Structure 1
C-alpha cells in the first residue's frame, strides 16, 4: 500500500500544480456553433455551442465510498480498520457524465478558427543525420562496464537516480502527444457505449454474441473512462485537458461496428507506440505504456468479435502523431468551445478502392468500394448471405465471432493490385471542420507500407487526375519481418510519398514532410 499512497498523493500534487497551457500562434479555441443532429438514443443536444469559451473543470478531490468499504469489510468479516487501503481516497473518474453528455451525427456549420496550433516553425523538415557516436560504443558482451549504484542493479537507465517521480507532461511535444491520446480515449469511450446503445440484444445474438460479450464491451468502456482520467491528469488537470466531443460513425450493423472498432483501436494503439518512447517525461511514458497495453487487448477482442484472427503479426507497429490525428479526425464532428486544439498535421485523405472485405468468404473477390461510410477506418460492408463468411459454419470460411478463426483464403496476398484514390490538400476536416489538410511533399511517386518493424516502398503507377481527385495503383509487396513472419498482415498502414528514403520505427515521423496523402488502414489480414 506504500506504492499506492505515494502514487496517488504525489501524482495528484504534481499535476495540480501545473499551470494552464497558453495557446499562442495562428489558431485558438474554436467558437463556431454546431448543428449536429443526434442519430442515437443518447442526448440530442450538441456538445459544441456558440459564444465565448467557458472554463473546463471536473472534480479532482479524492473521496472514499463508505458504503462500498463497509460492504467489503462485512463480506470479509473483518473491521474496516483492518482492511488495507479501504480508507485511502480514490481519484474520481473524468467522464461524459461529468463533462457533459455527447451526441452523434455530422457537423454542418462555419468554423471561425481553422488550422492546427502553430507559432513559428524553425524549418520545414528534420534532417536525417548519422547515428549519435556515443550510442555505438557500448559492448554488449555479458560483462558489467561501470560501477553498480547499488547491489543487483547495473549502471545506467533513465529515471533511476532516486529522484521523486513527477507525473506530468514536460514539453510541448509531451503535451500535444498526450492531448492527442486524450482525444483518442474520448472517442473510444463514446464508441463502446454507442455500440451497446444502438444495437438490440437480438442484433448481438445474430452476430454470435451473448450477454457476457455485451458486458465485456461495457467493461472496456469503463477502462476508457480510466484512461481518459489518467491522461487528463497527466495534462495538468482541467487547465490542460480537453472535454469529450460529438462523433459521427459510419457503421450500420453489428459486424460493421466491430470492424470499425478494431480499426479505431488499432490506430489508437499504434499512435501511442509511435511517440511513447520519445516523450521527455519518462514518468508519463511509464503510465502511458500501462494503459496502452490494455488498448492492445481491446483491439484483439474486437477482431475476435469480427471473426478475424486475433493477432496475425509478431510485432505491433507505431505511427507518428500526425498519422494518428489524420485517421481520427474524420470521425469527430464538433467539439465544445473550450476544447484544446492540436498542433499535428492533417494529411490529404487516401482511400483504397479495393480494400479487402473481411466479410467475404473469399476476400480476393472484393469489388470496388466495399466499405461503409467514409474515412480511413471505414468498415467492410456486409455482403449477401451466399457470399458472406458470417455464420458460415464451414471451417476456414467462417468469420463468426470466435476466439480464433483461421481463414483458408487470406484477405490479401503479395502481388495483389491495390487501387488508390487521394485528395488534394486544403480540405476542411475534423472538429467543427476547423482543421485543414496539408502536405509539403512534391510529386507522388511511392506507396509506403508501415507494418510491424518494417517500412517498405512500392512504386506508384498509372497516376491520373479527374475532377480534382487523384488516382493510381501499386502492388502489395512481398516482405517479411523475420523468416516465417510476412510483414504485410493485420490492420496496417499505407501512405503516398514523394521519396523512398529508408525510415525505421524510431524515426518514422521524419517522413511526414514527404507524405502526399494518407495514411490509410489497409486490411491485409
Structure 2
C-alpha cells in the first residue's frame, strides 16, 4: 500500500501479515504475525539562523510582487450561488444517500484518493505565504530563548517550565514547515534571516502574540477557498496549534487569554503586509509571492499591555506594522507585572482580570501612516503600494465584524488623522472590538463580510495590528 508521492512516506499504517495457517493440534498454538512498519518520515532541513538585523545588502535586481496578465483592476461583487440560496435547510433529506449514514453533497466525499498537494496558483501562493510564516516563528521562538538571559525571563514570571513550552512551540513549527513544504514541492520557500522590533522579554512576548495572531488569521482567511481540500485539511491541523500558541503568548504577557468570541480571518495581502517587513533576506532565487504590501499604519496611542493603565499612553510602540509595545519609557512601578493589587497586576497566568481595560468604546485613537513606495521584505525587494489618494475611514476587523468609523482632522501632508473606537457588539454582551485585532484605513466604507474581506483591498491605504484587549 504505497503512500502518495506528493506527501512522502507518511502513510502511517501498520500492515498485519498472517505468516501461515495454524495446523489443527490438541495442544495450544499461536498465530504468528509480523508488522511491516512504514519508516518515520524525516522533517525538512532546518537550522538556527545566525544573522539577525535589517537588510544591508545590495539593491534587489527584482522588485515588486510576482505578477502575470491582470484581467481586471478589482474583483466585482456578484450574487451568491443559486444552489445555496435555494437549499431549503429544513432538517429533511433532499437527495439520495451515496452510502449508509451519509448525506448527499459535500466536497471531496466521493471516495477519490486524496492527494496532499496544491492544485492552483491560489493554493500555491497561499501555502507559500503560510510557509514564510512558519519559518519566521521557528526562528523567532528560538532566537528569544537564546538572546535573553534566564534572569530576565524570571523577572517577568516566565520560568524554566514556561521556557520549555516556548521551545516545544518552536519544535512544532518544524512539523508545520515540513508539511507545507511537502505540499508545495521543490520550489517551496526556504528559511530566511530576520529582523525583530524588540529589545527585551516583554517586547518579545508581545511581538510573538501579535505575529502568531496574523499568522493564524491569515490562514483562516484563505483556508475555505483552497482548491485542494486535502491541502486545506493538513493546514487546518497545523493552524489549530498556532491558535494555541497565540493564546499561550497572551497568557505569558499577562493578558486575558481569549477575550473575543470569534477569531477573524484576514486576506493574504494583509498577512504578507504584516509579515514581510520582519524578513531581512532570503536565499537566491527564493519563491516570490503575488500578494500586495500596503503602507504601514502607526497607532500613536496603541494600548500597552505592559502598563498598569495600558490605555493612557502615547508613542509607546517599537513602530512598524505590529505596533509592538515598547518598555523604553516605563519605570518599575509602571509595569503591571510588578503591581501588588490583584485587580491591576498582570503576571503570566492562565487568566488575569484587570480592572483597567486596554481600550474602550469611544476611545480617541491617533493615527499616522506611511507613504507608498517603501522597500520592504526579503532583500528589500517588495514595494508598498495603494490605490488610495485620501483615506476617509478606519476599518476595524475583529471577530465577525467589519466596522467603519470616519477619520477626522485628516492631514494629507502629515498623513495623520484620528478616529474613535466604535461601540459595537458581535452578540449581546460581546464587544466586537476586542483582543489582538486589525485596523486599516480606506477611502470607502465597502460592505464586506468574513468570507469576502479581500474585496476591500483596492480601497486600503494602510494597515496595522490594534491591541484592543
TM-score normalised by structure 2 residue count: 0.92
Q: 1:104 aligns with which of 52, 56, 65?
A: 52
> Does the CA contact (< 8 Å) of 2:302 and 2:311 recur in 1?
no
Query: Does structure 1 residue 14 correspond to structure 2 residue 9?
Result: no
Q: 2:113 aligns with which of 158, 164, 167?
A: 164
CA drift at 1:294: 0.2
CA drift at 1:83: 9.6
Deviates more, 1:171-180 or 1:139-148: 139-148
CA drift at 1:408: 0.5
Query: Does structure 1 residue 180 correspond to structure 2 residue 129?
Result: yes
Q: 1:296 aligns with which of 243, 263, 278?
A: 243
CA drift at 1:364: 2.7
Task: Tell me what 1:522 maps to.
Answer: 466
Q: 1:369 aligns with which of 315, 321, 325?
A: 315
Deviates more, 1:269-278 or 1:250-259: 250-259
Distance 1:90 1:517, change over 3 A: same
Q: 2:443 aligns with which of 483, 498, 505?
A: 498
Deviates more, 1:207-216 or 1:315-324: 207-216
SS of equivalent residue, structure 1 residue 507? helix
CA drift at 1:63: 13
Task: Tell me what 1:282 maps to.
Answer: 229
Name the larger-Rg structure. 2
Deviates more, 1:159-168 or 1:331-340: 331-340
Task: Tell me the distance in 2 between the aligned counterparts of 1:95 and 1:61.
Answer: 16
Task: Tell me what 1:260 maps to.
Answer: 207
Q: How does 1:445-460 map to 2 (within 5 A)?
A: 445-460=392-407
Q: Unaligned 5+ residue runs, structure 2?
A: 13-31
Q: How does 1:173-322 map to 2 (within 5 A)?
A: 173-236=122-185, 238=186, 240-322=187-269
CA drift at 1:84: 6.7
SS of equivalent residue, structure 1 residue 386? helix
CA drift at 1:338: 2.7
CA drift at 1:348: 1.1
> Does the CA contact (< 8 Å) of 2:218 and 2:270 recur in 1?
yes
Task: Tell me the distance in 1 between the aligned counterparts of 2:445 and 2:417.
Answer: 17
> Does the CA contact (< 8 Å) of 1:96 and 1:102 recur in 2?
no
Q: How does 1:66-77 map to 2 (within 5 A)?
A: none
CA drift at 1:443: 2.5
Provide, for residues 466-498 of structure 1, a one-character-per-residue CA deviation record: whole Å limited to 9, x for no partner.
4xx411111100111111110000010000001
Task: Tell me the distance in 2 between the aligned counterparts of 1:108 and 1:485.
Answer: 46
Deviates more, 1:125-134 or 1:190-199: 125-134
Runs of 4+ aligned structure 1 residues displaced above 3 Å come to 60-64, 81-85
Distance 1:365 1:156, change over 3 A: same
Provide, for residues 107-138 of structure 1, a one-character-per-residue CA deviation record: whole Å limited to 9, x for no partner.
12311110000011101110011222221111
Task: Tell me the distance in 2 between the aligned counterparts of 1:504 and 1:63.
Answer: 39
> Does the CA contact (< 8 Å) of 2:302 and 2:323 recur in 1?
no
Q: How does 1:396-411 map to 2 (within 5 A)?
A: 396-411=343-358
CA drift at 1:96: 2.3
Task: Tell me the distance in 2 between the aligned counterparts of 1:379 and 1:259.
Answer: 6
Q: How does 1:318-357 map to 2 (within 5 A)?
A: 318-357=265-304
Would you say how many aligned residue pairs link Structure 1 and Structure 2? 447
Task: Tell me what 1:93 maps to.
Answer: 43
